Amino acid sequence: MSRVRFTPLTVMALLLLALSSAVRSCPPSELAALLAFKSALKDSDDGVFTSWTGTDCCSKWYGVACDRNSRRVAEISLRAGPIYTTFEKPYRPSYMTGQISPEICKLTGLSSLIITDWKGISGEIPRCVSSLSFLRIVDLTGNRISGTLPADIGRLRQLTLLSAADNLIAGEIPPSLSRLTGLMHIDLRNNRISGPIPQDLGRLQMLSRILLSGNQLSGPIPASICRIYRLVDLDLSQNHLTGPIPEALGRMAVLSTLKLDTNKFSGMIPPRLLGSGISELNLSHNMLEGNIPDSFGASCYFTILDLSYNDLKGPLPKSMSSASYIGYLDFSHNHLCGPIPTSYSNTDATSFAYNDCLCGKPLKPC
């Protein structure tokens, strides 16, 4: 029987082929973690996981991206929604069920975790997620995730975006959240979160958006929020918040959207709110009282100004006529009285309806 002889050139070629194959493959532990993550979720037969075959998870696995040098998994991005173009054909994601496996925490180089709008993914956020020290983005919007936010989420010191809106998350906002000093965007809308807003949330000086509407939050607005100088959007609507509206909100340099509607705020409207740079202001469905502050000016530019369904009294402020623009206006369902400024005679009558004795166009003559 003759021996098979390999020339040095053949041996070198085989070694390079083996090395190339190894370089293209995921680290075995990360490959196993991804497959365990996949097995905990149920997708359609022609869904996103059809591409999850072979050992090279870094090149053709849909929604998986790796670090170029280490080949470790750096991103999982599985978004449902409109048609995506994947490889050769358009693909419309379907309904996905199952849970997020704790095995995902073995992907220790993960910097981005995005699993959004699948509607049927349930279970809790794995507690071990807070051990993934490189995480910068966590977006789990639009599922059926329940349980609570991880108590030690404050360990994710590199986190810049946290979104878990439109889920079934309950419990309180963990106090450790206030340690995430690099956080720029927090969106926990439409969940079942209760309890107070953390008093020291104002430590998060990089925040530009705080979106907490549609929960069961209670207590006052922490004064520290008014010291977040980069804050652009603050939405605390549809909760059970109480107390007065902090006057300092009107002194925030770049705040443009303030939604506090459908709560239990009381007291008077801070005058500075109406003379600030806020362009969308909704204070409706509360228990605010007193007069509407006569503090409008030429710099006032409101796309939305809604003060409806409160206990406001007295006349409409004369300075309203000096505002440069008020788009959508609603002062209905209060106890206002007196003439409507002529500059608002073409406004829809429903904007002033159900008050005690407002008069003039667009309502009946005075």
Average pLDDT, the chain: 91
Query: Which position has the higher pLDDT, 92 or 306?
Result: 306
| DSSP, res 228 | -
CA distance 98 to 78: 14
Residue 93 has pLDDT above 60, yes or no: no
Residues 127-144: tens digit of each pLDDT: 999 999 999 999 999 999
pLDDT at 317 over 60: yes
pLDDT in tens, 329-340: 999 999 999 999
The residues near 187 (Cβ < 8 Å, ≥ 6 apart) are 141, 162, 163, 164, 165, 209, 211
Structure token digits, residue 53: 């075959």
Distance, CA of 226 to CA of 188 (rounded, Å)? 19
CA 184 to chain centre: 10
- Look at residue 3 and give its three-state secondary structure: coil
- Split at pLDDT 50, 70, 90, the class of 83 is very low
Per mean pLDDT, which range of 81-85, 288-292, 358-362 is the poorest? 81-85
Contact 334, 347 (CB under 8 A): no
Residue 152: CB atoms within 10 Å: 14
| pLDDT > 90 in the chain, percent | 84
- The confidence band for 16, taking pLDDT boundaries of 50, 70 and 90, is very low
Q: Are strands 84-86 and 89-91 parallel, antiparallel or unpaired?
A: antiparallel
Give every CB contact of residue 259 below 8 A, 6+ residues apart in sequence.
213, 234, 235, 236, 237, 280, 282
- pTM score of the predicted model: 0.90
Q: Which residue has the tokens 């979106």?
A: 211
Residue 89 has pLDDT above 90, yes or no: no
**Mean pLDDT on 342-362:** 95
- How far apart, in whole angstroms, are the C-alpha atoms of residue 209 and residue 234? 6
In 107-178, which ranges are E strands? Answer: 112-116, 119-122, 137-139, 161-163
Q: Which of 54-63, 78-87, 92-101 has the lowest mean pLDDT?
A: 78-87
366 pLDDT exceeds 60?
yes
Neighbours of 69 (CB within 10 A): 6
* Residue 19 pLDDT greater than 80, yes or no: no
| Average pLDDT, integer, range 208-225 | 98
Token pair, residue 141, equals 């919007």
Assign 48 to helix, strand or coil.
Answer: helix
pLDDT tier, 26 (very low <50, low <70, confident <90, very high otherwise): confident
Q: What pLDDT does 5 receive?
A: 55
SS3 203: helix
Q: Please report, as a single letter, which amino acid is at residue 6.
A: F
| pLDDT score recorded for residue 87 | 46
Separation between Cα atoms, residue 304 and residue 235, nearest integer Å: 14
Q: What is the average pLDDT across 157-174?
A: 98
Mean pLDDT of 109-126: 96
* Mean pLDDT in residue range 206-217: 98
User: Would you say residue 120 has pLDDT above 50?
Assistant: yes
10 Å CB burial of residue 335 (0-12, 13-18, 19+) is middle
Model confidence pLDDT, tens digit, residues 256-283: 999 999 999 999 999 999 989 999 999 9
Domains with residue ranges and CATH for the chain: 26-359 (3.80.10.10)
C-beta of residue 229 within 8 angstroms of C-beta of residue 251: no
Residue 21 confidence (pLDDT): 41
Query: What pLDDT shows up at residue 3?
Result: 53
Which of the 8 DSSP states describes residue 249?
G
